[in-house]
Amino acid sequence: MKLSISQSLLKDWDDYSKGLGCGLWFKARHIDKIKTKPTPAMLKGLRFEYLCTGALLRDGSIPPELLTKTGNISKTDNQKVEKQAERFKEAIEFYGVEILETSKIIEWECDDYKRKGVLDILAKIHKMPEFKENPNVYMKPFEAIIDIKSTGLLDNKFEQFGWALENLPFRNKLTEQPVDYKSIYRENGIKDIPFYWFVHSNTNDIDSRIIEARVGDARIDEQIFKVKSAVKAIESELFLEFKAHPTVKRCFNCPLFKNCKEKITVPKVNIVEIY
Ligand code: SF4
Protein backbone atom coordinates (compact mmCIF):
# COMPACT_ATOMS: atom_id res chain seq x y z
CA MET A 1 0.00 0.00 0.00
CA LYS A 2 1.31 3.44 -0.96
CA LEU A 3 1.29 5.95 1.90
CA SER A 4 -0.63 9.15 1.26
CA ILE A 5 1.16 12.02 3.00
CA SER A 6 -0.87 15.10 3.89
CA GLN A 7 -0.02 17.98 6.18
CA SER A 8 -2.47 16.68 8.81
CA LEU A 9 -0.64 13.32 8.74
CA LEU A 10 2.70 15.07 9.16
CA LYS A 11 1.40 17.08 12.13
CA ASP A 12 -0.01 13.95 13.79
CA TRP A 13 3.18 12.02 13.04
CA ASP A 14 5.22 14.74 14.66
CA ASP A 15 3.03 14.57 17.76
CA TYR A 16 3.18 10.76 17.92
CA SER A 17 6.94 10.60 17.51
CA LYS A 18 7.32 13.06 20.40
CA GLY A 19 4.93 11.04 22.57
CA LEU A 20 2.28 13.75 22.32
CA GLY A 21 -0.18 11.71 20.28
CA CYS A 22 -1.47 8.15 20.32
CA GLY A 23 -0.18 5.67 17.73
CA LEU A 24 -3.41 3.67 17.64
CA TRP A 25 -5.34 6.78 16.76
CA PHE A 26 -2.71 7.81 14.20
CA LYS A 27 -3.01 4.42 12.48
CA ALA A 28 -6.81 4.48 12.57
CA ARG A 29 -6.95 7.99 11.13
CA HIS A 30 -4.18 7.98 8.55
CA ILE A 31 -3.57 4.34 7.60
CA ASP A 32 -6.95 2.63 8.09
CA LYS A 33 -8.72 5.91 7.26
CA ILE A 34 -11.70 5.38 9.53
CA LYS A 35 -14.43 7.96 9.09
CA THR A 36 -15.08 10.21 12.08
CA LYS A 37 -17.50 13.02 12.75
CA PRO A 38 -16.01 16.53 12.45
CA THR A 39 -15.35 18.20 15.81
CA PRO A 40 -17.32 21.38 16.73
CA ALA A 41 -14.21 23.47 15.88
CA MET A 42 -13.96 21.81 12.45
CA LEU A 43 -17.69 22.36 11.83
CA LYS A 44 -17.26 26.03 12.68
CA GLY A 45 -14.45 26.30 10.11
CA LEU A 46 -16.42 24.41 7.46
CA ARG A 47 -19.54 26.52 7.98
CA PHE A 48 -17.44 29.68 7.71
CA GLU A 49 -15.77 28.45 4.54
CA TYR A 50 -19.18 27.62 3.04
CA LEU A 51 -20.46 31.11 3.83
CA CYS A 52 -17.32 32.63 2.26
CA THR A 53 -17.04 30.54 -0.90
CA GLY A 54 -20.00 28.16 -1.07
CA ALA A 55 -17.68 25.13 -0.50
CA LEU A 56 -19.75 22.06 0.41
CA LEU A 57 -18.86 19.08 2.59
CA ARG A 58 -17.26 16.05 0.91
CA ASP A 59 -20.66 14.33 0.66
CA GLY A 60 -22.03 17.35 -1.21
CA SER A 61 -24.15 18.63 1.70
CA ILE A 62 -24.18 22.14 3.17
CA PRO A 63 -22.25 22.48 6.44
CA PRO A 64 -24.94 22.84 9.13
CA GLU A 65 -25.64 25.97 11.15
CA LEU A 66 -23.64 26.18 14.37
CA LEU A 67 -25.15 24.65 17.49
CA THR A 68 -24.84 25.40 21.19
CA LYS A 69 -23.48 22.74 23.58
CA THR A 70 -27.06 21.68 24.25
CA GLY A 71 -27.71 21.11 20.53
CA ASN A 72 -29.83 24.18 19.72
CA ILE A 73 -29.03 26.59 16.89
CA SER A 74 -26.66 29.23 18.27
CA LYS A 75 -27.94 32.59 17.09
CA THR A 76 -24.86 34.41 18.40
CA ASP A 77 -22.27 32.10 16.81
CA ASN A 78 -24.11 32.00 13.50
CA GLN A 79 -24.36 35.79 13.42
CA LYS A 80 -20.61 36.06 14.08
CA VAL A 81 -19.62 33.72 11.23
CA GLU A 82 -22.12 35.34 8.86
CA LYS A 83 -20.73 38.78 9.64
CA GLN A 84 -17.15 37.53 9.26
CA ALA A 85 -18.03 35.95 5.90
CA GLU A 86 -19.30 39.38 4.81
CA ARG A 87 -15.94 40.82 5.88
CA PHE A 88 -14.13 38.19 3.83
CA LYS A 89 -16.23 39.09 0.77
CA GLU A 90 -15.50 42.77 1.34
CA ALA A 91 -11.76 42.03 1.52
CA ILE A 92 -11.68 39.92 -1.66
CA GLU A 93 -13.56 42.63 -3.50
CA PHE A 94 -11.10 45.24 -2.24
CA TYR A 95 -8.09 43.26 -3.48
CA GLY A 96 -9.79 42.18 -6.71
CA VAL A 97 -9.67 38.48 -5.86
CA GLU A 98 -11.15 36.29 -8.56
CA ILE A 99 -11.91 32.80 -7.24
CA LEU A 100 -10.77 30.33 -9.92
CA GLU A 101 -11.42 27.12 -8.02
CA THR A 102 -12.35 26.00 -4.50
CA SER A 103 -11.11 22.80 -2.79
CA LYS A 104 -8.51 22.31 -5.53
CA ILE A 105 -6.38 19.20 -5.03
CA ILE A 106 -2.64 19.34 -5.67
CA GLU A 107 -0.70 16.07 -5.74
CA TRP A 108 2.67 14.49 -6.29
CA GLU A 109 3.53 10.81 -6.49
CA CYS A 110 6.65 8.65 -6.55
CA ASP A 111 7.19 4.88 -6.29
CA ASP A 112 6.99 4.82 -2.49
CA TYR A 113 4.35 7.38 -1.52
CA LYS A 114 2.06 10.11 -2.71
CA ARG A 115 1.45 13.59 -1.41
CA LYS A 116 -1.73 15.59 -1.45
CA GLY A 117 -2.92 19.06 -0.47
CA VAL A 118 -6.37 20.62 -0.76
CA LEU A 119 -6.35 24.37 -1.46
CA ASP A 120 -9.31 26.29 -0.04
CA ILE A 121 -9.11 28.72 -2.94
CA LEU A 122 -7.02 29.02 -6.08
CA ALA A 123 -7.41 32.66 -6.98
CA LYS A 124 -6.28 35.32 -9.39
CA ILE A 125 -5.52 38.57 -7.58
CA HIS A 126 -6.03 41.71 -9.64
CA LYS A 127 -5.61 44.59 -7.18
CA MET A 128 -2.71 43.82 -4.82
CA PRO A 129 -0.83 47.07 -4.11
CA GLU A 130 2.76 46.92 -5.28
CA PHE A 131 4.18 49.30 -2.68
CA LYS A 132 2.87 50.06 0.78
CA GLU A 133 3.78 53.72 0.20
CA ASN A 134 1.72 53.91 -2.95
CA PRO A 135 -1.42 51.81 -2.63
CA ASN A 136 -2.64 52.89 -6.06
CA VAL A 137 0.09 51.02 -7.95
CA TYR A 138 -1.01 47.44 -8.41
CA MET A 139 1.01 44.33 -9.11
CA LYS A 140 0.28 42.54 -12.37
CA PRO A 141 -2.61 40.07 -11.81
CA PHE A 142 -1.23 36.82 -10.41
CA GLU A 143 -2.42 33.42 -9.24
CA ALA A 144 -2.31 32.70 -5.52
CA ILE A 145 -3.47 30.23 -2.92
CA ILE A 146 -5.90 31.57 -0.32
CA ASP A 147 -6.59 29.69 2.86
CA ILE A 148 -9.51 30.78 5.03
CA LYS A 149 -9.13 30.46 8.78
CA SER A 150 -11.52 31.02 11.65
CA THR A 151 -9.87 31.23 15.08
CA GLY A 152 -10.34 32.23 18.67
CA LEU A 153 -6.60 32.98 18.93
CA LEU A 154 -6.06 35.81 16.44
CA ASP A 155 -3.81 37.87 18.74
CA ASN A 156 -2.51 35.03 20.88
CA LYS A 157 1.28 35.06 21.32
CA PHE A 158 1.67 31.96 23.45
CA GLU A 159 -0.37 29.03 22.18
CA GLN A 160 0.84 26.76 19.39
CA PHE A 161 -2.21 27.79 17.34
CA GLY A 162 -1.88 31.50 18.20
CA TRP A 163 -1.83 33.87 15.22
CA ALA A 164 0.10 36.84 16.71
CA LEU A 165 2.40 37.89 13.87
CA GLU A 166 5.58 38.21 15.94
CA ASN A 167 5.56 34.53 16.88
CA LEU A 168 3.92 33.09 13.77
CA PRO A 169 7.22 31.99 12.14
CA PHE A 170 7.72 29.67 15.15
CA ARG A 171 4.21 28.18 15.07
CA ASN A 172 5.10 25.05 13.12
CA LYS A 173 1.59 23.63 13.23
CA LEU A 174 0.28 26.70 11.43
CA THR A 175 3.19 27.28 9.06
CA GLU A 176 3.25 23.62 8.00
CA GLN A 177 0.46 24.33 5.53
CA PRO A 178 2.09 26.88 3.18
CA VAL A 179 5.41 25.06 3.50
CA ASP A 180 3.78 21.77 2.55
CA TYR A 181 1.88 23.21 -0.43
CA LYS A 182 4.97 24.96 -1.74
CA SER A 183 7.01 21.77 -1.39
CA ILE A 184 4.40 19.85 -3.44
CA TYR A 185 4.79 22.48 -6.18
CA ARG A 186 8.58 22.05 -5.91
CA GLU A 187 8.36 18.25 -6.17
CA ASN A 188 6.24 18.67 -9.30
CA GLY A 189 8.92 20.95 -10.74
CA ILE A 190 6.49 23.88 -10.88
CA LYS A 191 7.25 27.34 -9.52
CA ASP A 192 5.15 27.86 -6.42
CA ILE A 193 2.64 30.71 -6.18
CA PRO A 194 2.02 33.19 -3.33
CA PHE A 195 0.10 31.91 -0.33
CA TYR A 196 -2.25 34.08 1.75
CA TRP A 197 -4.14 33.34 4.93
CA PHE A 198 -7.36 35.27 5.42
CA VAL A 199 -7.77 34.82 9.18
CA HIS A 200 -10.98 35.80 10.95
CA SER A 201 -11.80 35.84 14.63
CA ASN A 202 -14.62 33.61 15.80
CA THR A 203 -14.91 35.37 19.14
CA ASN A 204 -16.12 38.63 17.61
CA ASP A 205 -17.42 39.75 14.23
CA ILE A 206 -14.80 42.44 13.53
CA ASP A 207 -11.21 41.23 13.84
CA SER A 208 -9.56 39.77 10.80
CA ARG A 209 -6.10 39.71 9.26
CA ILE A 210 -4.55 38.92 5.89
CA ILE A 211 -1.10 37.34 5.98
CA GLU A 212 1.18 36.36 3.12
CA ALA A 213 3.42 33.43 4.06
CA ARG A 214 6.79 33.80 2.35
CA VAL A 215 8.67 30.55 2.70
CA GLY A 216 12.45 30.30 2.24
CA ASP A 217 13.96 27.73 -0.14
CA ALA A 218 15.79 25.97 2.67
CA ARG A 219 12.52 25.44 4.55
CA ILE A 220 10.93 23.91 1.44
CA ASP A 221 13.90 21.52 1.01
CA GLU A 222 13.64 20.67 4.70
CA GLN A 223 9.95 19.80 4.23
CA ILE A 224 10.74 17.40 1.37
CA PHE A 225 13.37 15.76 3.56
CA LYS A 226 10.87 15.62 6.44
CA VAL A 227 8.29 13.86 4.25
CA LYS A 228 10.84 11.24 3.13
CA SER A 229 11.98 10.64 6.73
CA ALA A 230 8.37 10.37 7.93
CA VAL A 231 7.59 7.81 5.21
CA LYS A 232 10.52 5.61 6.30
CA ALA A 233 9.64 5.93 9.98
CA ILE A 234 5.92 5.20 9.40
CA GLU A 235 6.76 2.13 7.31
CA SER A 236 8.98 0.83 10.08
CA GLU A 237 6.26 1.53 12.68
CA LEU A 238 3.76 -0.36 10.52
CA PHE A 239 6.13 -3.31 10.68
CA LEU A 240 6.79 -3.04 14.43
CA GLU A 241 3.24 -1.88 15.38
CA PHE A 242 2.09 1.53 16.47
CA LYS A 243 2.16 2.15 20.19
CA ALA A 244 -0.67 3.46 22.33
CA HIS A 245 0.12 6.70 24.19
CA PRO A 246 -3.01 7.08 26.27
CA THR A 247 -3.76 9.96 28.61
CA VAL A 248 -7.11 10.52 30.27
CA LYS A 249 -7.84 13.65 28.26
CA ARG A 250 -6.64 12.14 24.97
CA CYS A 251 -8.73 9.00 25.46
CA PHE A 252 -11.93 10.83 26.49
CA ASN A 253 -11.67 12.92 23.32
CA CYS A 254 -10.74 9.98 21.09
CA PRO A 255 -13.26 8.59 18.56
CA LEU A 256 -11.94 5.07 19.33
CA PHE A 257 -12.69 5.40 23.08
CA LYS A 258 -15.66 3.00 23.21
CA ASN A 259 -13.89 -0.10 21.91
CA CYS A 260 -10.23 0.65 22.60
CA LYS A 261 -8.49 -1.87 24.89
CA GLU A 262 -5.61 0.52 25.65
CA LYS A 263 -7.70 3.45 26.86
CA ILE A 264 -7.27 4.80 30.38
CA THR A 265 -9.77 6.67 32.52
CA VAL A 266 -7.50 7.13 35.57
CA PRO A 267 -4.19 9.01 35.24
CA LYS A 268 -0.97 7.01 35.16
CA VAL A 269 1.59 7.73 37.86
CA ASN A 270 4.30 10.06 36.60
CA ILE A 271 7.75 10.06 38.21
CA VAL A 272 9.72 13.24 38.67
CA GLU A 273 13.27 12.93 39.90
CA ILE A 274 14.34 15.89 42.02
CA TYR A 275 18.03 16.32 42.73
S1 SF4 B 1 -8.72 5.61 23.31
FE2 SF4 B 1 -6.75 6.31 24.07
S3 SF4 B 1 -5.37 4.59 23.80
FE4 SF4 B 1 -7.18 4.20 22.56
S5 SF4 B 1 -6.66 4.99 20.56
FE6 SF4 B 1 -7.69 6.60 21.62
S7 SF4 B 1 -6.08 7.83 22.59
FE8 SF4 B 1 -5.20 5.86 21.99
Q: What is the pLDDT of residues 195-252, one digit of tens each?
A: 999 999 999 999 999 999 999 999 999 999 999 999 999 999 999 999 999 999 999 9
pTM over 0.85: yes
Q: Is the CB of 257 under 6 A from ligand 1?
A: yes
Q: Residue count of the chain, please give it.
A: 275
Per-residue pLDDT band for 106 (boundaries 50, 70, 90) equals: very high
In angstroms, how far is CA 155 from the centroid of its own chain? 18
pLDDT tens, position by position, 23-79 = 999 999 999 999 888 888 888 999 999 999 999 988 889 999 999 988 899 999 999
Q: Is the CB of 244 under 6 A from ligand 1?
A: yes
**Ligand 1 centre and the CA of 160: distance in Å?**
23
Q: Is the CB of 263 under 6 A from ligand 1?
A: yes
**Ligand 1 centre and the CA of 254: distance in Å?**
6
pLDDT at 80 (0 to 100): 93
Average pLDDT over residues 145-151: 96
Q: Is the CB of 256 under 6 A from ligand 1?
A: yes
CB 230 within 8 A of CB 5: yes
